[in-house]
């Protein structure tokens, strides 16, 4: 087994798997030592295997640590016995004696193979983790490999890493079919017990941001930035944007010619509604815009991060939305607690002092 062809095969594996020679030889030495120790259970010392690729040699040594006293545990040798072998031996020394394992057969070789394969898997996992560590928060395309009752497994990159989409990261109503290609948002890269794993999502708000970045050159260039996203996956998203260049219309850039850009994102999200909201430094004005598509007559701050928004009577249901969704998303987008009231209800509660937000007029 120990010849130039054997070490040449190891070198090929090193290149193929991207494992350093030092790491591979260390794993192989440990595997062979473990297998040898198991095969020769009667030996009381520790087995050490020394590999030398340059000379194409493999040598086995039985090692003992010298200890004081008359009793030695496994892997140890008493000082008296050690000095019979080497007169200058002293406590703490390690004595090594080369031996040739006989009938180092199938069981030992299989054990060594398993340990080596484990090391290869660990190294591949570490290499993959290193490669994907900067992918968190990114948009990636992958191939759905398997769908079980709860989880979706996706091959990412060149298929060397597995993406896992948990139930909470799946969009209600979306169908995931093995063999389909899919775009996902990378939430987190983690090391599993068997391999590297990437937690991905179709429900994350970040997916919407990255899809727009893919469709809108102005976002990628930085002239338009996404300030905030509030999303209820599969139903509706509100995205606040701002222009960093006075010559660029942020909303127009995201909508695109005849709605081409926003429609491309909507199509990728299976028809999910998207409200593109111009961001404002004035929080009350921002709240008014966030309640789109409803018209807002006025917004007044009640307390810190709490405001009341007044809308025309006929627009109240639109402002609140089905099951309160529109108002709920507006609150998430702005970070404010928003109480939406109709104009007639506000008058009864004496909200005469409410003023129309900047940029809007009372109807």
Cα distances from 260 to residues 252, 270, 316, in angstroms, run: 11, 15, 30
Q: Is 89 helix (H, G, I), strand (E, B) or coil?
A: coil
Whether residues 327 and 250 share a domain: the answer is no
**Percent helix, strand and coil across the chain, each to the nearest 5:** 40, 30, 30
Strand partners, 78: 67
> Which residue range(s) make up the domain with 86?
4-130
Indicate the residue among 233, 257, 279 that finishes a domain: 279
> What confidence score (pLDDT) does residue 54 get?
83
Whether residues 342 and 274 share a domain: the answer is no
Look up tokens 């004081």; give the residue.
Answer: 68
Whether residues 303 and 348 share a domain: the answer is yes
Q: Is 283 helix (H, G, I), strand (E, B) or coil?
A: helix
Highest mean pLDDT among 57-66, 103-112, 334-343: 334-343
> What confidence score (pLDDT) does residue 28 get?
77
Indicate the residue among 90, 108, 130 that finishes a domain: 130
Q: Is 87 helix (H, G, I), strand (E, B) or coil?
A: coil
188, HSE (Cβ side, Cα atoms, 13 Å)? 5
Neighbours of 150 (CB within 10 A): 9
Whether residues 191 and 241 share a domain: the answer is no
Neighbours of 185 (CB within 10 A): 24
Whether residues 229 and 266 share a domain: the answer is yes
Whether residues 124 and 16 share a domain: the answer is yes
Whether residues 39 and 105 share a domain: the answer is yes
- Number of domains composing the chain: 4
Strands 94-99 and 57-67: antiparallel
Whether residues 22 and 117 share a domain: the answer is yes
Contact criterion met (CB below 8 Å) for 243 and 254 = no
CATH number at residue 213: 3.30.300.20
> What confidence score (pLDDT) does residue 132 get?
73
Q: Is 73's pLDDT higher than 50?
A: yes
CATH number at residue 95: 3.30.1480.10
Whether residues 226 and 328 share a domain: the answer is no
> What confidence score (pLDDT) does residue 156 get?
86
Whether residues 21 and 89 share a domain: the answer is yes
Whether residues 239 and 349 share a domain: the answer is no
Rounded distance between C-alpha atoms, residue 36 and residue 39, angstroms: 5
CATH number at residue 165: 2.40.50.140
> What confidence score (pLDDT) does residue 107 get?
63
Q: Is 196's pLDDT higher than 60?
A: yes
Q: What tokens does 315 get?
A: 């627009």
Whether residues 263 and 149 share a domain: the answer is no
């Amino acid at each position: 087994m120990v010849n130039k062809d054997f070490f040449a095969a190891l070198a090929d594996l090193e290149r193929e798997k991207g494992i350093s020679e030092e790491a591979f030889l260390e794993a192989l030495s440990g595997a062979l030592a473990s297998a040898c120790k198991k095969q020769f259970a009667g030996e009381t010392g520790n087995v050490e295997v020394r590999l030398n690729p340059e000379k194409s040699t493999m040598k086995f040594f039985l090692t003992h640590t010298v200890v004081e006293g008359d009793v030695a545990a496994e892997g140890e040798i008493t000082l008296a016995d050690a000095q019979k072998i080497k007169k200058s031996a002293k406590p703490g020394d390690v004595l090594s004696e080369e031996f040739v394992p006989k009938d180092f057969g199938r069981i030992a070789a299989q054990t060594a193979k398993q340990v080596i394969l484990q090391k290869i898997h660990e190294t591949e996992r570490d290499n993959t983790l290193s490669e994907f560590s900067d992918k968190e928060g990114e948009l990636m395309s992958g191939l759905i490999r398997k769908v079980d009752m709860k989880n979706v497994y996706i091959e990412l990159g060149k298929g060397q890493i597995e993406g896992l989409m948990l139930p909470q990261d799946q969009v209600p109503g979306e169908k995931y079919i093995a063999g389909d290609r899919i775009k996902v948002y990378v939430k987190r890269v983690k090391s599993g017990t068997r391999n590297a794993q990437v937690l991905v999502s179709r429900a994350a708000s970040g997916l919407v941001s990255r899809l727009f970045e893919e469709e809108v050159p102005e976002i990628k260039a930085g002239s338009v930035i996404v300030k905030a996203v509030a999303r209820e996956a599969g139903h509706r998203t509100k995205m606040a944007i701002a222009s960093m260049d006075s010559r660029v219309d942020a909303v127009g850039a995201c909508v695109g010619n005849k709605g081409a850009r926003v429609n491309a994102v909507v199509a990728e999200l299976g028809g999910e509604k998207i409200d593109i909201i111009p961001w404002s430094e004035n929080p009350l004005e921002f709240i008014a815009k966030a309640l789109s598509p409803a018209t807002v007559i006025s917004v007044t701050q009640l307390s810190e991060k709490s405001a009341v928004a007044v809308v025309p009577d006929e627009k109240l249901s639109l402002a609140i939305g089905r099951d309160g969704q529109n108002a709920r998303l507006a609150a998430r987008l702005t970070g404010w607690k928003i109480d939406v009231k109709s104009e007639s209800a506000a008058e009864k509660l004496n909200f005469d002092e409410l003023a129309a937000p900047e940029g809007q007029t009372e109807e």
